[in-house]
Structure 1
Amino acid sequence: MTPSLSLPAVPPPVSPDSCPLCGDRRAAHFHRDARRDYYRCPRCTLVHVPAAQRLAPAAERAVYDQHENSPEDPGYRRFLGRLFVPLKARLAPGAEGLDFGAGPGPTLSLMFAEAGHPMAIYDPFYAPYPEALERRYDFITATEVVEHLFAPGEELARLASRLSPGGWLGLMTKRVTSKEAFAGWHYILDPTHVCFFGEATFHWLATRLGMTVEFPAADVVLLQKPHREA
């Protein structure tokens, strides 16, 4: 399902919205396809879709309802293993976590529970448990989630605040590499993908949150909170 939009003949040179990650208002036009415009922030380098060109909640939910992810699917488990393996290697025995954006078929939480790391789950559509966002955790995961966020700056700061000292935030999302690659990128074809992060974006985010950052795979990011809070 795609949004019903009538794009202007010439896109504005600067985004009509402030950057949803850092709030900068100078994001320049980066790319246009048949459905949407994309703007890139000069401060944090996030590429985003303007608010007026995003799906409405009901249409967004309809796309997610088509997902058929299941913990019984070994291929899906292998996919999640790209985050599971490097993050698990960094956790203390018995560390407890939260899977943010768990989706209609929570699987990563089961994988960690099987390895001795119990996890709570939260998803605004499928597991809307606000109490899960009030606790502290040793680690938080968000797999194929950040590209869907309308307010990633606010949401990621909230997740970081829920981490205990020394805690880990593990993210999976494909990264922007160049303007040329972006134009032919399959990742922008999903109408629910509205924010696109590059490696420089995650370095900016780590500095903003006071965390360190690692890139164990092309689509995996691990951010760690200091062991002592300032």
Structure 2
Amino acid sequence: MMRRCPLCAESTTALYHRDRRRDYYQCATCELVFVPPEQHLNAAAEKAEYDKHQNSPHDTGYRRFLGRLFTPLLAKLEPNARGLDFGSGPGPTLSVMFAEQGFTMAIYDPFYAPDASVLTQTFDFITATEVVEHLSQPGEVLTQLVAQLAPNGYLGLMTKRVTSPEAFALWHYISDPTHVSFFSEATFRWIGEHWNMAVEFPGADVVLLRCRED
């Protein structure tokens, strides 16, 4: 069966890894590693997994975790920048951290904050922390988010990165049944080229993409 990449839509893909539960394919073009759609959870089962999360803006450990994206992105923002936390989850926290610094924030989450009107607005920065690995159609979602960025806007992502087949086989990250798309540094560089964005890696699990001027 031909496996079309859910990020770049190319069909040159090959089996990257297989375990007892799922198969993982890698795209030869953008190097995304992905689980085929017939092995994804349905929406109800997916939400049931997210309902187990106990994240809260009152949790200092969670704030520290989010700080890995918050701190480098904050240093780049102009005063009065307007942001969107995409995939904000059941306990929105990153949006609270930016609001505390005086930024106007919106949130969106398909399960917990499904106000689609924010997806028609423009933002100076958009964050997605521990989100892109859950996307069954990352190409469609990234196209949407990039289109919502103002000139010179930032897209800040946090997700653990693929490094090698050997490490992947032992990786705890693939044991989460809601994780279906896995990005490497090469994948993010492809994203930067495809959408004409500058790419920066301020930390092991963090990438900042900035819209270039045409």
User: Aligning the two structures, in what range does the TM-score lie when normalised by the shorter sequence?
Assistant: over 0.9
Q: Does 2:133 correspond to 1:172?
A: no
Q: Does 2:184 correspond to 1:198?
A: yes
Alignment RMSD (CA, Å)? 0.8
Greater share of strand: 2
Q: In structure 2, what residue type is equivalent to 1:195?
A: S
Q: Does 2:22 correspond to 1:26?
A: no
Q: Tell me which structure has the larger Cα radius of gyration.
A: 1
Q: In structure 2, what residue type is equivalent to 1:92?
A: E
1:145 matched residue in structure 2: 131
Task: Give 1:94 deviation, angstroms.
Answer: 1.3
Q: How does 1:47-58 map to 2 (within 5 A)?
A: 47-58=33-44
CA contact (8 A) 1:212 1:223 kept: yes
Q: How does 1:1-230 map to 2 (within 5 A)?
A: 16-226=2-212, 228=213, 230=214
Task: Give 1:113 deviation, angstroms.
Answer: 0.3
Q: In structure 1, what residue type is equivalent to 2:176?
A: D
Task: Give 1:98 deviation, angstroms.
Answer: 0.2
3-state SS of paired residue (2:199): strand
Alignment deviations for residues 22-57 of structure 1 (CA, whole Å, 9 cap, x no partner) = 011121001011100000000000000001100011
Alignment deviations for residues 138-175 of structure 1 (CA, whole Å, 9 cap, x no partner) = 00000000000011011001100000001000000000
Task: Give 1:116 deviation, angstroms.
Answer: 1.1
3-state SS of paired residue (2:38): helix
Task: Give 1:17 deviation, angstroms.
Answer: 2.8
Counterpart CA distance in 2 for 1:148 and 1:16 is 22
3-state SS of paired residue (1:28): strand
3-state SS of paired residue (1:111): helix
CA contact (8 A) 1:140 1:170 kept: yes
Q: In structure 2, what residue type is equivalent to 1:80?
A: L
Counterpart CA distance in 1 for 2:69 and 2:2 is 35
Please give the TM-score of this superposition, normalised by the length of structure 1: 0.92
Counterpart CA distance in 2 for 1:116 and 1:92 is 11
Count, aligned residues: 214
Runs of 5+ in structure 1 lacking a partner? 1-14
Task: Give 1:59 deviation, angstroms.
Answer: 0.4
Runs of 4+ in 1 over 3 A off after TM superposition: none
3-state SS of paired residue (1:221): strand
